[in-house]
Chain A
Amino acid sequence: MKGEILKMLSRAEGYTSGEHISEQLGISRTGVWKHIQSLREEGYTIVSVRKKGYRLEHSGTGFSAHAVSSKLRTEGIHIEHHEKIPSTQTRAQRLAQGGARGWTVVTADEQTGGRGRRGRPWSTKKGTALAASIILRLDKLPQEAAAITPTAAVIINDVLQRYGVDTRIKWPNDILAEGRKVCGILTEMHAEMDELHYLIIGIGVNVNETDFPEEIKPTAVSLRHLTGQEWDRSALLAALLDELKKRLPEFEENGFTPFREDWLRYSTVINKEITIHQRHQSWKGRAVDIREDGRLIVETETGQKEVISGDISI
């Protein structure tokens, strides 16, 4: 309800009367007032003038469920925000197991035990990064689902490009700028042989970091560093969610195929000599193409190989 009120206020030009809000949302005038008070406590500056109503002073750069909801242009996305949580991904899994509907999104201002690929820690420092886990219930077969990672990379890359950041995609799940990682994507699936129960796309974006821990310093970069300005995380997340919601039905319908050309255009690995690091071995080759199921095609001295797993260094 607070999100709805915030949405009305942020869309309004000038004042919105308490009466109008109460009629629109079917709540009492006192109810409206209580929600306004609660929004003020969250840091929103809402001016109230007798006989005129309420006006949102500025939409706030705070990261909260209401801040994100008020900036979304798409319907049907539900945000569950946490000030501090061990992992948005684990929380989203629990919600999905409990029957949460698709497009339920878990976000956090601070993650204390975030998970990266293969159980590696992914830390999110308070107030700087964007961490979100999106529950998806897609009409897809489990064996077709893996291509969602490169698909999501294309969509996220497009949004960042629109903000004027020169990003590139590194197979299969990283988004780089100036050769360093600005965003990582990790997807988890729960499925039986012929039934996909749910997918959870975890997105981590380095947004307002001014410094990184020593071990990731050489390979990480933040949007703030790239653009020289502080970013509004809730606006960025709303833009990412809007774009994913708009374009994932295309993936549901036709898979990775419609995204493949864009992927190739923005790929950092195509026509490069690369090393593929797999769990028990590393080997070299030249990346030449990506298959319609997302596998990378690599030319080696002994012929072409299709890569389904691994980390790449260029």
Chain B
Amino acid sequence: MLKIQEIRELIQLIDNSSIDEFKYEQNGEKVTLRKHQQGGGETIRTVQEAPQPVQPSQPAPQSPAQETSSASEKTEAEDRSGTHAVTSPMVGTFYAAPSPDADPYVTKGDTVKQDSVVCIVEAMKLMNEIEAEVNGEIVEVLVKDGELVEYGQDLFLVKPE
């Protein structure tokens, strides 16, 4: 569990950064820090949930669900106008490549056609090949290989031709 001091430090760091939202999750404990910039004043909301008792000394097995997604959160703040977001139609694991040692289907800067396969989302061995949906260029890969994605989550940003 995060200590108060650590949270205080996080708030300060985020305060001075361009990050709008920060999420942290480990062992079922969640922390969300969000900046609301409209209305003049700045509010920081802290939510800490710990549904199960946590033994701090035990190194927790990491499942994809528990990896932080701060990298993708950061990009959300960037300008997305004029891009098409490829979203996941189901909850599952995001695979950027057909196998762990294979090259990814696409990387940033690649040109794609609307039926180009950009990744696989898998759940219970149901494989869903996700297509780019538009002709254009991959300008952002928002999820890392092996990460859990939610229904409707943005996976890629494509700049249409």
Contacts and interface: CB of A to CB of B under 8 A. Distances in A.
Q: Which of A150, A190, A278, A279 has most chain B Cβ within 10 Å?
A: A279
Contacts of B28: 302-303
Contact of A281 (B62, B90, B92): B62
Given A118-B95, A146-B90, A295 B127 contact: no
Nearest to A174: B125
A284 interface: yes
A307 B95 CA distance: 16
A185 B125 contact: yes
Contacts of A278: 63-64, 93, 146
B13 interface: no
Contact of B126 (A189, A301, A305): A189
Given A304-B52, A308-B124, A191 B61 contact: no
A93 B102 CA distance: 22
A214 interface: no
A217 to B, nearest CB: 22
B126 A307 contact: no
Contacts of A111: none
A185 B124 CA distance: 10
A192 B89 contact: yes
A294 B122 CA distance: 13
Contacts of A240: none
B126 A148 contact: yes
B119 interface: no
A146 B95 contact: no
Interface residues of B, number: 38
B107 interface: no
**Which range contains the number of A residues in contact with the other chain?**
35 or more
Contacts, number: 125
Contact of A143 (B61, B63, B90): B90
B63 A301 contact: no
A148 B90 CA distance: 14
A191 B151 CA distance: 13
B54 interface: yes
A120 B99 contact: yes
A273 interface: no
B51 A143 contact: no
B90 A142 contact: yes
A143 B153 CA distance: 12
Contact of B58 (A117, A276, A301): A301
A301 to B, nearest CB: 5
Given A118-B99, A119-B98, A307 B90 contact: no
Q: Which of B58, B92, B98, B126 has most chain A Cβ within 10 Å?
A: B126
Given A278-B64, A278-B146, A279-B95, A146 B126 contact: yes
B152 interface: yes
Q: Which of B102, B125, B129 has most chain A Cβ within 10 Å?
A: B125
Nearest to A306: B65
Given A193-B87, A280-B146, A302-B58, A146 B123 contact: yes
B29 to A, nearest CB: 10
A303 B52 contact: yes
Interface string A180-208: 00000111111111100001000000000
B151 A187 contact: no
A119 to B, nearest CB: 4
A114 interface: no
Given A146-B90, A147-B124, A279-B64, 17 more contacts: A143-B91, A146-B91, A149-B125, A171-B124, A185-B125, A188-B126, A191-B89, A194-B89, A276-B63, A278-B63, A278-B64, A283-B63, A295-B123, A302-B28, A302-B61, A309-B92, A309-B123
Question: Lowest 8 A-B CB distances belong to which pairs?
Answer: A283-B61, A303-B52, A309-B93, A146-B123, A142-B89, A173-B125, A172-B124, A279-B146
Interface of B: 27-28, 51-55, 58, 60-65, 87, 89-93, 95, 98-100, 102, 122-129, 145-146, 148, 151-152
30 contacts: A118-B99, A119-B98, A120-B99, A142-B128, A143-B89, A145-B126, A146-B90, A147-B124, A187-B125, A191-B90, A193-B87, A193-B89, A194-B89, A279-B93, A279-B100, A279-B145, A281-B146, A283-B61, A283-B62, A285-B61, A294-B124, A295-B124, A301-B55, A302-B27, A303-B51, A305-B63, A308-B93, A308-B124, A308-B148, A309-B93
